[in-house]
Amino acid sequence: MGRGKIEIKRIENANSRQVTFSKRRSGLLKKAQELAILCDAEVAVIIFSNTGKLYEYSSSGMKQTLSRYNRCHDSSESTVVECNQEEDEKVVGALKEEIAELQLRQSRLLGKDLAGVSIKELQVLEKQLSEGLSSIKQKKEQWLMEQLERSRMQEQRAMLENETLRRQVEEFRGFLPSASYVEYRMMEMTPPTTSGGCSPDRKHHRLTDNGHSDTTLHLGLPYDDYGKTHSPERETECKT
């Protein structure tokens, strides 16, 4: 019957934990010694118990092994830094070359730095320029058409607004007298050519055949009532 699988977790019982520590510590140090002897390896093991007690094993001396470890550790860090620097320099160099190539292409598209360019490269440049010019013309035409459409829409809105204002004016005129009636009233309001002795500030109150002012027609007052109330005042004004 095989041994049961032990769950790897902290042993709660202090006595069992101490027994297990002693057994496994001894086994670990033994395995380290066997590894150093069988494989001719430099092995060092450092163990601190939970009480702070030190246990160690070194096949070539602990200080010598630690010094070697520190040298290797420092050199590995410097090696990593150097590798990163080399990679960064490679990336920067590639980016610089790409920028120089793009600048050369741009200058050639502008008709510069064409020395040493083959006929095939010139044909490629010509094709690129033709395609770019065609795209620019299409974009310009599209922009002009959009601008024309916006102008048409603004014109339609202005026409609709004018039509609305015209209708409002016609509706407003419906509440006012007609043009012929207004002209007739203006003719009646012209200065009379009477020979009486009335004062000039009474010239707009022309007398009728019966001696009454036609203002009664404009004010809409009854003719008889107006004559009864204002005839004495009119006679006094004319006499003076």
Domain range list for the chain: 15-60
Q: Where residue 93 falls among pLDDT bands split at 50, 70, 90?
A: confident
Residue 75 has pLDDT above 90, yes or no: no
C-alpha–C-alpha distance, residues 29 and 24, integer Å: 9
> What is each CA distance from 177 to 99, 174, 184, 185, 189, in whole angstroms?
83, 8, 11, 11, 16
Report the pLDDT value the prediction gives residue 124, as an integer from 0 to 100. Answer: 84
Q: Which of 84-93, 146-155, 203-212 has the lowest mean pLDDT?
A: 203-212
The pTM of the full predicted model, rounded to 2 decimals, is: 0.33
How much is the mean pLDDT over the chain? 76
Q: Where residue 21 falls among pLDDT bands split at 50, 70, 90?
A: very high
Residue 187 has pLDDT above 90, yes or no: no
> What is each CA distance from 71 to 74, 79, 237, in whole angstroms?
5, 12, 135
CATH number of 15-60: 3.40.1810.10
Q: For residue range 107-154, list pLDDT tens digits in order.
A: 877 878 777 778 888 888 888 888 888 888 999 999 999 999 999 999
